[in-house]
Amino acid sequence: MKRYHLVTFGCQMNQHDSDRIRDVLEGSGYAPCETLEHADLVLLNTCSVREKAEQKLRSEVGRLGLLKRTRPDLVLAVAGCVAQQEGERLLRGLPQIDVVIGPDQAAALPRLLAEVEQGGLPQVRTEFDLHEPRFLPAAPRGRAKVSDFVTIMKGCDERCTFCVVPTTRGPERYRASEEIIAEVAARVAAGTREITLLGQTVDSYQDPLGKLPGGQRDEFSATRMGRLQRDETEFPSLLRALAERVPGLQRLRYTSPHPRHLTSALVAAHRELGVLARHVHMPVQSGSDRVLRRMARRYTVAEYRERVGALQRAVPGLTLSSDIIVGFPGETREDFALTLELVREVGFVSVFGFKYSPRPFTPALKLGDDVSEEEKSERLAQLFELSEGQRAAHLARLVGRTEQVLVEGPGERGGYTGRTERNEIVHLQAARDVTGKLVEVTIAEAFKHSLRGTPTDRALLAAEGESGSAGAAAPTAELEPRAATRRSGHRALPLLH
């Protein structure tokens, strides 16, 4: 049996695409291989959003080229956004590559690999599936993940000037609501407890078959962003349909939304649906209207504040995180000070901060890159100092409180790890396997990025046959560092918005 080794760069969408690529490969007779040295096929699923990811691809291909010299039958495939963006050009610059496929072409992979393996020329397939969009459902495999992703849309119709995604992922295409509900129901029946709906602008969702009610009046219509006065999306209706038709679903999240579609209907869904997690990642990018205009974000800081403020009022205790770019062309120190002010005012508990870097095929290229690297680093450090401080204060406030923790599995150094409904990571001890269980926990200690808690049910602490006292050793502060570096707040980079 042939064996494959898959390396994924980039965001959650890429992680999810890699899972579907695995399904396709394993469905066509490949077996996974932990080490690339022993694989017959090495596939790199690439990201072009950040400069470093592209550099990583080039150095990885160079390294694999050396391996190919000793093993000429090794097949090297490149998928994802760099593949889509560069297409045939990749083959000219990196002749070691045998197959190049865009994000919409995973299903074609076995056929393209067969061509190459039979001695054919390198294969390139990067068309978007514009007329018949395909959303590959997850193949059942082993034990269901406690928390899993379901794609509801792909592509992006926004034109943020810094972003290459509209080029690499194409225009927005939506998955039929019945298909989404069926996949969520199947996952839940198989044991999944939490679903994160995935899409580049997930809250712009509309049902292509028109099965969901939409077009509610948007109460934010007084602001420029809501000039349409109607909520043109059907995302809140999809959330309601999932809550109603998949009663076994314990938690529902989504990533990544665009603030333009944080409508009053979505706020109402958060207020009324208990299944929606009390945490939202709402990318803002900058706290300066001048910079937002240059980014073509299509909202103002006041509009962003109004909408997230409504969400915070509707759901007491809801936390927010965000993405912020520092050093965008033309960003002055005053602009950046406004960003810090917004971070403070909204009270983000987590910020994914990035230094601006010019990306090919993006409109911002013509704006230059006039903030020095040193200044960008300085601004990023200030941003992190502020956001880390806010995070630490938030985690410290949770000590002594009781939280419902959805346990995702064993921790790296014993015990178990789970998440609260606000997405904080909690380490806990239990004398029996509590994976997939919702465990009530009293928070005992706050670390830099996570918490330690004790189950309120003493029976969970007692080993079989014991009574009363805790049967499991208390976790130590040493739990934190490794766990935190791997998963600081989110499972992978959020989608860029």
Judge contact between 275 and 248, C-beta under 8 A: no
Burial group, residue 203, by CB count within 10 angstroms (0-12, 13-18, 19+)? buried
Q: CB of residue 156 vs ligand SF4: minimum separation in angstroms?
A: 3
Q: How far is CA 25 from CA 28, 46, 64, 312, in A?
A: 5, 17, 20, 44
Structure tokens at 256: 């990544």
Structure tokens at 118: 């039979």
16 binds ligand SF4 (CB under 6 A): no
152 binds ligand SF4 (CB under 6 A): no
Binding mask 101-140 for ligand SF4 (x = CB under 6 A): ----------------------------------------
Nearer to ligand SF4, 48 or 420 (CB): 48
13 binds ligand SF4 (CB under 6 A): no
Task: Please tell me the count of residues contacting ligand SF4 according to CB under 6 A.
Answer: 11
Per CB under 6 A, the list member of 163, 342, 405, 434 interacting with ligand SF4 is: 163
166 binds ligand SF4 (CB under 6 A): yes
Q: CB of residue 163 vs ligand SF4: minimum separation in angstroms?
A: 3
Q: CB of residue 160 vs ligand SF4: minimum separation in angstroms?
A: 3
81 binds ligand SF4 (CB under 6 A): no
CA distance 153 to 255: 11
Nearer to ligand SF4, 200 or 450 (CB): 200
Place of tokens 């009046």: 217
The answer to whether the Cα torsion of 130, 180, 417, 436 is positive or negative is negative
3-class SS of residue 20 = helix
CA distance 158 to 201: 8
Provide the 8-state DSSP code for 361: T
Per CB under 6 A, the list member of 165, 202, 249, 320 interacting with ligand SF4 is: 165
Selected range binding ligand SF4 among 159-167, 416-424, 443-451, 485-493, rule: CB under 6 A: 159-167
362 binds ligand SF4 (CB under 6 A): no
Structure tokens at 216: 């509610």
Q: CB of residue 11 vs ligand SF4: minimum separation in angstroms?
A: 10
Q: How many other CB atoms are there within 10 angstroms of residue 484's CB atom?
A: 15
Please state the separation of Cα 469 from the chain's center in Å: 40
Nearer to ligand SF4, 369 or 378 (CB): 369
Strand order in the sheet with 3-8: 31-32, 3-8, 41-46, 75-80, 99-101, 123-125
Q: State the pairing for strand pair 194-198/173-174.
A: unpaired
Q: CB of residue 333 vs ligand SF4: minimum separation in angstroms?
A: 24
168 binds ligand SF4 (CB under 6 A): no
85 binds ligand SF4 (CB under 6 A): no
Neighbouring residues of 337: CB distance < 8 A, sequence distance ≥ 6: none
Supply the angle between the helices 333-346 and 373-398 in degrees, to the nearest 10: 10
47 binds ligand SF4 (CB under 6 A): no
Selected range binding ligand SF4 among 25-33, 163-171, 266-274, 462-470, rule: CB under 6 A: 163-171
Ranges within 240-299 binding ligand SF4 (CB under 6 A): 258
Q: CB of residue 157 vs ligand SF4: minimum separation in angstroms?
A: 8
Selected range binding ligand SF4 among 19-27, 158-166, 264-272, 462-470, rule: CB under 6 A: 158-166
Judge contact between 199 and 151, C-beta under 8 A: yes
Place of tokens 């839940």: 188
Nearer to ligand SF4, 430 or 496 (CB): 496
494 binds ligand SF4 (CB under 6 A): no
Ranges within 188-207 binding ligand SF4 (CB under 6 A): 200-201
CA neighbours closer than 13 Å in the CB half-sphere of residue 361: 16
Supply the angle between the helices 12-27 and 109-117 in degrees, to the nearest 10: 60
At residue 65, what are phi and psi to the nearest 5 degrees?
-60, -40
233 binds ligand SF4 (CB under 6 A): no
Q: CB of residue 131 vs ligand SF4: minimum separation in angstroms?
A: 22
Selected range binding ligand SF4 among 152-160, 218-226, 374-382, 486-494, rule: CB under 6 A: 152-160
90 binds ligand SF4 (CB under 6 A): no
Selected range binding ligand SF4 among 11-19, 74-82, 155-163, 444-452, rule: CB under 6 A: 155-163
Nearer to ligand SF4, 94 or 160 (CB): 160
2-39 burial: b if 16+ Cβ within 10 Å, else e? ebbbbebbbbbbbbbbbbbbbbbbeeeebeebeebeeb
Nearer to ligand SF4, 100 or 160 (CB): 160
The residues of the shown chain that bind ligand SF4, judged by CB under 6 A, are 156, 158, 160, 163, 165-166, 200-201, 258, 496-497
